[in-house]
Amino acid sequence: MDELGYQVTIVPLLPPVDHARDILEALDTDLVFNLFEGFDDRPKTEATIAGIMSELGFTYTGCSPAALALGLDKAKVKDLLLAHGINTPKYQLLTPETVSRFELSFPCIVKPSGQDASHGLSANSVVDDQASLERQVTGVSRAFGGKALVEEFVDGREFNATVMGNDGVAVLPISEIVYSLPPGMPRVLTYAAKWEEGTPYYDGTTVACPAEIGVEESAMLRQTAVAVFRLVVKHGYARVDMRVDSEGKVHVLECNPNPDITPGSGAARQAAAASMTYPQFIDKLVLMALHKTRA
């Protein structure tokens, strides 16, 4: 930020929320570059802090409180997509008490319904029978509270696209998650794949950017990502995760508002593939926030 000519002060936020509010109220700033991702084990506070910044009248980068809250409610996002004709895997919200009502087709993937960063995803998340389903639903429900999101598993090529903008939007070059895993390990972007170096998932999961895809498939993925962005996010920046099955059909897995934008992140990689330097990418987010305020 300094090399862009902006005067920057780093402002750490610590719980509780009221203390964070006090820190924000004391700020005298033209813009907040919002990198807050929620307090530990409290992902919903990401939207809470954005809400406080809105109440205080700050100009800040990224997505609205409503978009951040919606992005963490995976079932609600899926309902919204389905209501607008956007394909997403069939799902149920289940608990240990309701898992007997399962009515999807195996294989399925079981994940927390209100987490991000692949929390709760492992090789055991993909289940092929009722006993495995019950074990995984119980484990997820106990570890993260509430209901587990159970989806029919789409075992196809996996892509993601970063979409950014306000009234007009841009789609950065598409990435593909490339799996080279040992036999029997399901092709899933697990927590270990992202964060645990030296594990089979970390070593067997790479990213190709830009993805090696044809013009038609690229257009289809880009159009889908934009449609999801306009429904879920509306303005700011977000990553849309998708899989393409053996018949060429796009399935939207998730929409992640305010994804990781650190220099080694997927969004930064996609910006570089669009011939943007990292400072140019950051400056674009700043200018988007300023334009949104002026509009």
Beta bridge partners of 207: 177
Whether the pLDDT of residue 20 is over 60: the answer is yes
* pLDDT value of position 145: 83
What 3-state DSSP class applies to 243?
strand
Question: In order of start, what are the domains of the chain with their CATH numbers?
Answer: 2-61 (no CATH), 69-87+155-294 (3.30.470.20), 91-152 (3.30.1490.20)
Mean pLDDT of 95-116: 93
| Mean pLDDT, rounded, for 103-110 | 97
E-strand stretches of 65-153:
91-94, 108-112, 126-127, 148-152
Written as six digits, the tokens of 262 are 């650190």
Task: Say how far apart CA 196 and CA 215 lie, in whole Å.
Answer: 35
* Cis peptide, bond prior to residue 210, ω within 30 of zero: yes
pLDDT tier for residue 293 given thresholds of 50, 70 and 90: low
146 has a pLDDT exceeding 90 = no
Least confident segment among 101-110, 117-126, 170-179: 117-126
Whole-number percent of the chain with pLDDT over 90: 88
Six token digits for residue 231: 């429904």
pLDDT above 80: residue 275: yes
Residue 120's pLDDT band, with cuts at 50, 70 and 90, is confident
Summarised one tens digit per residue, pLDDT across range 248-257 is: 999 999 999 9
- State the pLDDT at residue 116: 74
* Residues 161, 164, 169: CA angle, nearest 5 degrees: 105
Residue 294's pLDDT is what? Answer: 44
Please state, in angstroms and rounded to a whole number, the distance separating the CA atoms of residues 251 and 154: 8
pLDDT at 30: 94
pLDDT for position 291? 83
Lowest-confidence segment of 38-52, 85-99, 109-123, 138-152 by average pLDDT? 109-123
Report the distance separating Cα 30 and Cα 27, nearest Å: 10
Residue 41 is classified by DSSP as: T
